[in-house]
Structure formats: C-alpha cells, structure tokens
Structure 1
Amino acid sequence: MASRITWIHPVRAVQVLFGIAVFGLIIYVLSVYKYDSISEFMLFNGIWTGFFATPYLALAPVHFAKFSHRVLVPVLETSTMILWLVGVILLGIDLPSASECKSAGCEATLAVVVIAAVEWYVFPFRALEGYG
C-alpha cells in the first residue's frame, strides 16, 4: 500500500480544521446567542465536513481505491461546496455589521461566517485539478 502525499493533502487538512472550527463555534453560538435552523444547518456543515466528507475525500483515493469512485468523489466535493456556499449566504444575511456586534455570541457568528467563507473557497481546488 503506497502512501503518496500530494499537494491536496495539506488542503484537506485545512478543510478538516476549518470544519471542526465551525463545529465548535456554532455549538457556542447555538448555546448562548441564537438557536435557529440556519445555525443548525451550519452545525451539520461542520460535522459533515470535519468528520465525514473531507476524511473520505482525503483517504479513499489513497488507501481505499476500490471505494473511491470516479463519480462519487467529484459529486461529494461539489455538493459539500454548495452546502458551504448556502450556509455562508444564509448565516450572513441577518448578521449586523461588525461595529454593531456587542455580544460574544454575535462575534462568534461573524467568525463562523468568515471561516465558512474560507472553507467554501478552499473546496474548488481539487475540482480545478481534474480527475484523470
């Protein structure tokens, strides 16, 4: 079993870290600031990316080539990227400006929006590389 580390593995590590960061921050937001369906959706995004999608995307092509389907990987990446885009838009719609944010929960929500936007921006890298 050959383990090749390519440029995409550090990108996957960043995706996992950002997913877990969103997971932790959104749990804080849900407990002290606001409990709504958009925050729950971002909780799902953090769990999905940090613990399921990105580990599969990083490990399946290298260690489990039989389970890494040529169609499943691009579909999984694209759908996860769309989930992050939707989450960033929905969470950012009703946020006040940074100068009007007075509570720690509001500031944590701003941090979630920024981290989620970076997470969304990182996902197209593998799609640009191609699968061939």
Structure 2
Amino acid sequence: MITEREKALELAIGQIEKKFGKGAIMRLGESAGSTPVEAIPSGSLALDLALGIGGIPKGRVTEIFGPEASGKTTLAQHIIAESQKRGGMAAYIDVEHALDPSEDPPYPPQFQPGVPEPPRCQSRWRQWRC
C-alpha cells in the first residue's frame, strides 16, 4: 500500500522531471536506467578511467581541488583545451588567483576576455577558499 508521503514524493519527482527533464532528480541507491553523461577527456587516461565516464562531465560544474603546486591549473588547462578542440566553451574560476593568463601554458587553451568578477562576489570567493 502506497502511503500519502510516497504519493507526494512521486508527484514532486514527476513535476521536477516534467520541468527539467528525466534524470534531473533521482533516488540515491536506485539505478533505473541512468542517463549517460558526455565527458571531456582530462588528458590523463588514469584520471579518466577513475572518474568512470572517460573524463570530466560536460555541462556540469566541476571543482578541481588539491594542495598547492599539485597540477590543478595544468589539469584545468588540458580540460579547457580539449573542450575547445571539440567546439565547446569553458569558464575558469580562479579562486586562488594563481593563473597568469599572460603566461603561455604548455597546452594553451584560447583565453578570451570574460566577465570580470563583481566586487560584491570577491569576499564570498575568499570565504570559500578558507
């Protein structure tokens, strides 16, 4: 017998899927035909295999985190360059203020002028870094 709570949950899931598409919401632990995710290769076969989909998920926000000088910027540049080779675009949010776009990276993505970080957001980015 289906409870009122389960009915309400099914109704909510149905409305979300109707508005945002199948797979926009799911119950953890259920694998009812997951939607395949297109991936952008990272440039590292080992990382792509470890991620399970062959790279970084396309169209999703991905955070690259690690200790200083561990290769985060280089990895991001490889991913951006690969995305651009495939006709895509990428946004690079440098919360560490470590990227110098005037330097030529070893595998250069094409950096274009972007939207400057609004002053009201700078303190929030710094809080997230801490």
Is TM more than 0.5 here? no
Give the helix-richer structure, 1 or 2. Answer: 1
Q: Indicate the structure whose relative CO is greater, using CA pairs within 8 Å and at least 6 residues apart.
A: 1
| TM norm structure 2 | 0.24
| TM norm structure 1 | 0.24
